Amino acid sequence: MQFEKVVRKRRSVRKFADRPVDTDLIKEVVMFAQRSPSWVNSQPWQVYCASGNSLAEIKRRYQQNDDQGVPTNPDLAVMSREQWAPQEQANMKQWGHQIVHHFPDFATAHATMTNASQSLYNSPVILFITIPKDSPDWSIFDAGAFTQTLLLTATNRGLGSIVTYNSVRYPAVLHQVLTVPNDQRFIVGVSLGYVADEPINHFRSDRVALNKLLHFR
């Protein structure tokens, strides 16, 4: 696929079809992501691929934690909206407004988003990206670059994707189910799969005007 088309086509998928993803395709996507740049080529990322029974167990334990009101405890701290800088707060507010108005009414929007989130988007595969706990902030940057290459490669190969905090909000569950060493920390989960033809997947997020971020001096 033409590169610009790939960039435009990538968007967050919040409902995947009931169709598995071939293991060779997953390997290929991760191999391309390895071409990402990193500080002194440190390549700090590890990828733990959950599908089938392991992913079902993660979903079951997340649901159990939610039902019991277990507080979420992601390895990267979550900041309350009010603590963010004003422009970013405004961007997030705008996104929330637009996604709600994508649906016929608030109740439908709320129910659809809650279901998407609780079912982990019906993902057939989640790639959990970790870096060592003993890493500088630069490694988080590198993991981000790795993730973006992964997302674009997935798009190029006909796969839908979404990167989520939601899938890494209970790291203790992930350490146990995926037998991830305790010296690793979870950055994000990347769901991969085939896109279901559902209204939630027809939503397109917008972007701020270029002059709000590009400053010629």
Ligand X SMILES: Cc1cc2nc3c(=O)[nH]c(=O)nc-3n(C[C@H](O)[C@H](O)[C@H](O)COP(=O)(O)O)c2cc1C
Q: Which residues bind ligand X (CB under 6 A)?
A: 11-12, 14, 95, 162-166, 188, 205
Nearer to ligand X, 74 or 132 (CB): 74
Smallest distance from ligand X to CB 162, Å: 6
CA 188 to each of CA 48, 63, 105, 109: distance values in angstroms, whole numbers, following the listed order: 11, 18, 31, 24
Q: Which residue's Cβ lies closest to ligand X?
A: 166
Nearer to ligand X, 162 or 178 (CB): 162
Nearer to ligand X, 49 or 200 (CB): 200
Direct distance between the N- and C-terminal alpha carbons of the chain, in angstroms, rounded to an integer: 36
Nearer to ligand X, 27 or 97 (CB): 97
Smallest distance from ligand X to CB 155, Å: 11
Smallest distance from ligand X to CB 28, Å: 22
Nearer to ligand X, 11 or 175 (CB): 11
Smallest distance from ligand X to CB 30, Å: 18
Smallest distance from ligand X to CB 117, Å: 6
Nearer to ligand X, 152 or 216 (CB): 152
Q: Which residues of 27-50 are buried (b: 16+ CB within 10 A; e: fewer)?
A: eebbebbeebebeeeeebbebbbb
Smallest distance from ligand X to CB 78, Å: 10
Handedness of CA 26, 202, 145, 83 (dihedral sign): negative
Which amino acid does the sequence have at 135?
Answer: S
Which residue, among 23, 194, 191, has the nearest Cα to 120 in the 3D structure?
A: 191
d(CA 47, CA 128): 6
For 157, which DSSP code? T
d(CA 175, CA 184): 9
